[in-house]
Amino acid sequence: MANKGFDKETFKKSVVDNVKNLYRRTIDEATPNQVFQAVAYAVKDVIIDEWIATHKEYEKKDVKTVYYLSMEFLMGRALGNNIINIRARQEVREALDELGFDLNVIEDQEPDAALGNGGLGRLAACFLDSLATLGYPAYGCGIRYHYGMFKQKIENGYQVEVPDNWLKDGNPFEVRRSEYATEVRFGGYVRTVWENGREHFVQEGYQSVMAVPYDLPIVGYGNNVVNTLRIWDAQPINTFNLDSFDKGDYQKAVEQENLAKTICDVLYPNDNHYAGKELRLKQQYFFISASVQRAVSKYMEKHDDIRKFYEKNAFQLNDTHPTVAVAELMRILLDDYNLTWEEAWDVTTKTCAYTNHTIMAEALEKWPIELFSRLLPRIYQIVEEINRRFIIEIQQKYPGNQEKIAKMAIIYDGQVKMAHMAIAGSFSVNGVARLHTEILEKQELKDFYEMMPQKFNNKTNGITQRRFLLHANPLLADWITDKIGDEWITDLSAISKLKLYVDDEKCQHEFMNIKYQNKVRLAKYIKEHNGIDVDPRSIFDVQVKRLHEYKRQLMNILHVMYLYNQLKDNPNLDMVPRTFIFGAKAAAGYKRAKLTIKLINSVADVINNDKSINGKLKVVFIEDYRVSNAEIIFAAADVSEQISTASKEASGTGNMKFMLNGALTVGTMDGANVEIVEEVGAENAFIFGTSSDDIIRMEHDHSYDPMQIFNNDQDIRRVLMQLINGYYAPYDPELFRDIYNSLLNTLSSDRADTYFILKDFRMYADAQKRVDEAYRDEQWWAKAAMLNTACSGKFSSDRTIEEYVRDIWHLDKVKVEL
């Protein structure tokens, strides 16, 4: 387990020296935050040699590298994870103890690196951890947002967004690499010139920014491999270098400076919703142009034939957000390396691969050509040519079929369709869970699948057990290692050895006792941060994820309202005490999602203050759900809520984190839930609800009639009436009218609730009833919880990455000796 090269005394001295050099203080005068900085720099000291050695090895072996291109990397905190991955947890803890500090307190000083919204960004972070741990050459490429995901405050039950100034004390782990600064150009126009009998295209009158990379170390677990997350920041070019005081130059200089100031300002806080903002497209091109230029330059430092670029490089597009990479690589090959179109297209389509993360129609990126061509004139020309040739291909395959062109063209209806470009420009298109990939092939991307089935493949998501078990749940991690050894840390399939112990009563007790202690830890967190007392002996029933209608937090809280009605009717109702825990951020402009947060908090207010129900029901909304508190939450959950409308959740990854930590799933047959149930057995989960096939069918035939359910089910009717009779908002009875309408669509439109909440409500309530009954049988529950942990082996991102490597990237593993 322990790191042989790590010396505790050297480390202590390094911390003490860092405090002196950074703050002119002795260690006993230092604040916890100053100690955090000093410890982080001391850890970086250890990492840095491995980081250098790794890249030396990559150069020596002339390895193939994957560039994981992503607008989002939801990293969370680095310190604890880095200490774990250099395998110095115990020594660092002791060193700090001896200096008079508690490692947990020091870790809590670090702000989360929240450069992402939710699932897609966190997946990217897990992938980087797995790539480094498996020893694969990889770069993450992204944006150094100055403000990450907003911090959420709850005021009077409402979400308030507070800016996340995560860099204000500096980031001890980052290294600014100004030697790799790269110019990125926007706007202007394209002039055609003839040279040597060939057309050349020159962009003129453009504005530039300087892209400056900051590197963050991605530490592999115990293998000396340190990869790089490269995030680009923008800096103005030549502002004070004006040739004259010409008015135009001055104007341009100011504009360029403003462009540089705004580009990396802030992460767009939208999840699954395309807003079409100009600055967003600027962000996309900014980090893509810089990353692709750098990848090409790096390749050409050691090779001479750009036509073989794909032999040493793969670009993975994390959703459509980085798709402009297809055209940017074409631009560089055509304009800077003078390749023919056919040669350039060959290289590009052997380099790029695309991952789809959602089928939600409102998430599809479609840029108006006016905006796209004005901002990226040369890129737009290239997109037009890609489109022209792609349409010819479609016509050859489907002669005379206009409909195919309308459905598949890259430019159509005045818009550039990024998903279509991603598919045309990639050799691989993958979904993120088996069901999701099937839906892509049979429904959403059917035409593309029929035309080029060889491109399509599935890569079921995964999570890193190093962060979400070893770091998040040290009690359980140690217990597991005690039982079966520590192989599971780098090979999660080994966790199945726990199956030997699931019938052992002593083990069951130990397992549930650890769960209890983790619930005490969460209860303490909730008391400190929300001021609410919760009983760690109650069932902790948890739904934490972005707030979105398709994820149906609303169905969860309606069910809580229903249970409360039952308790009011019968205070002696026999039910196991339950604590319903929510955590969710709503996109700042998503009205109904924000109102749902208000509803949850309003219901919590009433229920938590009602003495007559004997504490059988509690509702908690955890403020500012993020990676760092997620780690505490997953470890403490008994029940995992995965209740999306079937077909809508591409995969889900929270579901896997709960399972790994021994929670039982209440869920629909959606996304990766299907595969989770396949691994653990339907008897060890609580599955309910309309199937994805039936949902998709009802979407087509409009046969769903929520009004009929409302009229025939008096419990449902009563709950819904409480939304509009002031039961939870006496001061404003109309407050939740919009939510009521959304469920019935009485006024707004002829479309019934597209999330089928009333359709699934009864089945959900039944599933929850089964949870209540099952929990009474302590032995059964303990065994089922252990089985969830024991059967979670498939859901390691290590497994996912091995599949990407095998089917898409074809990388070789590297060994780094120090």
- Looking at residue 140, the DSSP 8-state letter turns out to be E
> Site for ligand 26W (CB under 6 A): which residue of 425, 671, 689, 793?
671
- Closest approach of Cβ 322 to ligand 26W, in Å? 12
CA–CA distance, 796 with 803 (Å, rounded to integer): 11
Strands 189-195 and 198-204: antiparallel
What residues numbered 723-762 form the site for ligand 26W, per CB under 6 A? none
Does position 123 interact with ligand 26W (CB under 6 A)? The reply is: yes
CA–CA distance, 369 with 447 (Å, rounded to integer): 23
> Site for ligand 26W (CB under 6 A): which residue of 638, 649, 675, 753?
649
What residues numbered 359-398 form the site for ligand 26W, per CB under 6 A? 363, 365
Does position 675 interact with ligand 26W (CB under 6 A)? The reply is: no
Of residues 365 and 510, the one with the C-beta less far from ligand 26W: 365
> Site for ligand 26W (CB under 6 A): which residue of 80, 119, 322, 583?
119
Does position 437 interact with ligand 26W (CB under 6 A)? The reply is: no
Amino acid (1-letter code) at residue 368: P
Does position 269 interact with ligand 26W (CB under 6 A)? The reply is: no
Is 653 known to be catalytic? yes
Where does 398-495 have alpha helices with state H? 402-408, 418-424, 434-439, 446-451, 465, 474-484
CA dihedral 375, 379, 384, 390 (to 10 degrees): -130
> Which of 598, 648, 657, 799 does the annotation list as catalytic?
657
Does position 650 interact with ligand 26W (CB under 6 A)? The reply is: yes
Residue in this structure with the two tokens 């600064």, named with its chain if needed: 181
> Site for ligand 26W (CB under 6 A): which residue of 76, 80, 111, 118?
118
Residue pair 108/36 in contact (Cβ under 8 Å)? The answer is no
> Which of 44, 321, 466, 551 does the annotation list as catalytic?
551
Residue in this structure with the two tokens 């629909």, named with its chain if needed: 668
Does position 236 interact with ligand 26W (CB under 6 A)? The reply is: no
* Greatest distance between any 2 Cα atoms in the chain: 91
Does position 466 interact with ligand 26W (CB under 6 A)? The reply is: no
> Site for ligand 26W (CB under 6 A): which residue of 273, 483, 592, 770?
273
Q: How far is CA 421 from the centre of its chain?
A: 23
Give, in order, the Cα–Cα distances in Å from 817 to each of 1, 135, 225, 531, 744: 18, 12, 9, 50, 64
- Closest approach of Cβ 539 to ligand 26W, in Å? 25
What residues numbered 307-366 form the site for ligand 26W, per CB under 6 A? 319, 357-358, 363, 365
Is 357 known to be catalytic? yes
Is 545 known to be catalytic? yes
Is 524 known to be catalytic? no
- Closest approach of Cβ 62 to ligand 26W, in Å? 32
- Closest approach of Cβ 643 to ligand 26W, in Å? 13
Q: How far is CA 746 from the centre of its chain?
A: 36
CA–CA distance, 818 with 815 (Å, rounded to integer): 10
- Closest approach of Cβ 283 to ligand 26W, in Å? 11
- Closest approach of Cβ 625 to ligand 26W, in Å? 15
Does position 641 interact with ligand 26W (CB under 6 A)? The reply is: no
Residue nearest to ligand 26W (CB): 119
Does position 667 interact with ligand 26W (CB under 6 A)? The reply is: no
Number of residues interacting with ligand 26W: please give it, by CB under 6 A.
Answer: 23
What residues numbered 764-783 form the site for ligand 26W, per CB under 6 A? none
CB atoms within 10 A of CB 349: 18
- The residues, any chain, with a CB within 8 Å of residue 650's CB and separated by 6 or more, are 119, 356, 357, 358, 359, 431, 432, 433, 436, 671
Does position 270 interact with ligand 26W (CB under 6 A)? The reply is: yes
Does position 652 interact with ligand 26W (CB under 6 A)? The reply is: yes
User: Which of 14, 8, 65, 63 lies closest to 37 in space, CA to CA?
Assistant: 14
Does position 271 interact with ligand 26W (CB under 6 A)? The reply is: yes
**DSSP assignments along 659-727, one per residue:** HHTTPEEEE-S-TTHHHHHHHH-GGGSEE-S--HHHHHHHHHH----HHHHHHH-HHHHHHHHTTTSSS
Residue pair 630/471 in contact (Cβ under 8 Å)? The answer is no
CA–CA distance, 272 with 356 (Å, rounded to integer): 12
**DSSP assignments along 726-750, one per residue:** SSS-TT-TTTTHHHHHHHH-SSS-S
Of residues 112 and 649, the one with the C-beta less far from ligand 26W: 649
Q: How many CA atoms lie within 13 A of 805 on its CB side?
A: 20
Is 499 known to be catalytic? no
> Site for ligand 26W (CB under 6 A): which residue of 120, 212, 218, 595?
120
- Closest approach of Cβ 536 to ligand 26W, in Å? 30
Does position 96 interact with ligand 26W (CB under 6 A)? The reply is: no
Of residues 325 and 723, the one with the C-beta less far from ligand 26W: 325
- The residues, any chain, with a CB within 8 Å of residue 6's CB and separated by 6 or more, are 46, 86, 87, 88, 91
> Which of 357, 366, 455, 471 does the annotation list as catalytic?
357
- Closest approach of Cβ 770 to ligand 26W, in Å? 25
> Which of 464, 596, 645, 653 does the annotation list as catalytic?
653
> Site for ligand 26W (CB under 6 A): which residue of 171, 272, 284, 796?
272
> Site for ligand 26W (CB under 6 A): which residue of 130, 653, 661, 789?
653
CA–CA distance, 461 with 121 (Å, rounded to integer): 12
Contact window for ligand 26W (CB under 6 A) among 27-35, 53-61, 186-194, 648-656: 648-656
- The residues that touch ligand 26W, with contacts defined as CB under 6 A, are 117-120, 123, 270-274, 319, 357-358, 363, 365, 432, 461, 649-653, 671
Kindly list the catalytic residues. 357, 545-546, 551, 653, 657
